[in-house]
């Protein structure tokens, strides 16, 4: 299962070796997170050749920025996935020629230093399946806006234009969808 690769065990030691510029550690990082990062990028750009380029760019960025990562407290998998998504969304924005006025900058949310103290077993299979189940509970409109936001990087204004809906309506769908996902996760995994 793809989720099995997301076990956080061993990431601390792996991060330390990456910071020492150990090439074998990069191989292990790729073997652990390469397929899920690639799958995410394919979903976003829908082209396996481009996805390979962007996956390589993802690991290059992670490799180059490891010094800023907190090996003791950091969440390596979450960081890799975030960088992967951002690379793919940046690509979509560049080919679409979307203006930066509407495309909110993502780089600040992928700084390695912010990926600290995330839940230890964040991406274990149960949690991931719970979110998937919660995602399926969203109504069609809510699911669509989350997909447009997460997998296409559209702003709410852009979504409103594409869906030919009032901006306020789209904002309501986005907020309701996110609240529903959070509530479902909190009910499934009490704090």
Partner 1 sequence: MTPDKDLLYELYVLGQLEEPERGEIEEALRRNDPAAQARLRKALETNAILGTLPPPVEPSKALRRRVLAIAEPAPPSRMPWNLAWVALSACLVAGLVYTGVQRQGLEADLRARDATLAFLRSSETRLLKTGTVTEPQPVAKVFVNGSQGVLLVASNLAPLAAGRTYEMWVVPKAGGPRPMGLFKPAADGSAIHLRAGAVDLNDAAAIALSVEPEGGSPAPTTAPFLITPVGD
User: Applying CB under 8 A, does 14 fall inside the site for partner 1?
Assistant: no
24-53: which residues touch partner 1 (CB under 8 A)?
A: 26-27, 30-31, 34-36, 38-40, 42-43, 48, 51-52
User: Applying CB under 8 A, does 74 fall inside the site for partner 1?
Assistant: no
Distance separating alpha carbons of residues 33 and 2, to the nearest angstrom: 9
Among 14, 15, 45, 89, binds partner 1 (CB under 8 A): 89
User: Applying CB under 8 A, does 111 fall inside the site for partner 1?
Assistant: yes
Among 59, 142, 160, 173, binds partner 1 (CB under 8 A): 59
149-188: which residues touch partner 1 (CB under 8 A)?
A: 149-151, 153, 155-156, 174-175, 178-179, 181-182, 185
Among 15, 45, 146, 160, binds partner 1 (CB under 8 A): 146
Distance separating alpha carbons of residues 66 and 81, to the nearest angstrom: 15
User: Applying CB under 8 A, does 120 fall inside the site for partner 1?
Assistant: no
User: Applying CB under 8 A, does 8 fall inside the site for partner 1?
Assistant: no
Q: Work out how close the CB of 164 gets to partner 1 at its nearest, in angstroms, rounded to a whole number.
A: 19
User: Applying CB under 8 A, does 94 fall inside the site for partner 1?
Assistant: yes
Residue 12 or 130 with smaller CB distance to partner 1: 130
């Amino acid at each position: 299962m793809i989720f099995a690769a997301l076990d956080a065990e061993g990431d601390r030691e792996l991060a330390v070796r990456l910071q020492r510029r150990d090439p074998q550690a990069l191989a292990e990082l790729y073997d652990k997170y390469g397929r899920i990062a690639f799958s995410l990028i394919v979903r976003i750009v829908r082209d396996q050749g481009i996805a390979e380029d962007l996956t390589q760019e993802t690991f290059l960025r992670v490799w180059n920025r490891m010094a800023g990562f907190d090996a003791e407290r950091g969440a390596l998998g979450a960081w890799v996935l975030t960088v992967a998504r951002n690379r793919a969304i940046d690509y979509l924005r560049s080919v679409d020629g979307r203006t930066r006025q509407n495309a909110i900058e993502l780089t600040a949310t992928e700084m390695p230093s912010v990926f600290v103290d995330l839940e230890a077993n964040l991406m274990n299979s149960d949690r991931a399946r719970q979110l998937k189940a919660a995602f399926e509970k969203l109504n069609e409109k809510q699911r669509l806006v989350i997909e447009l936001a997460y997998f296409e990087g559209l702003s709410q204004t852009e979504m409103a234009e594409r869906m030919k809906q009032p901006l306020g309506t789209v904002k309501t769908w986005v907020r309701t969808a996110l609240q529903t996902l959070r509530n479902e996760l909190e009910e499934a995994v009490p704090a």
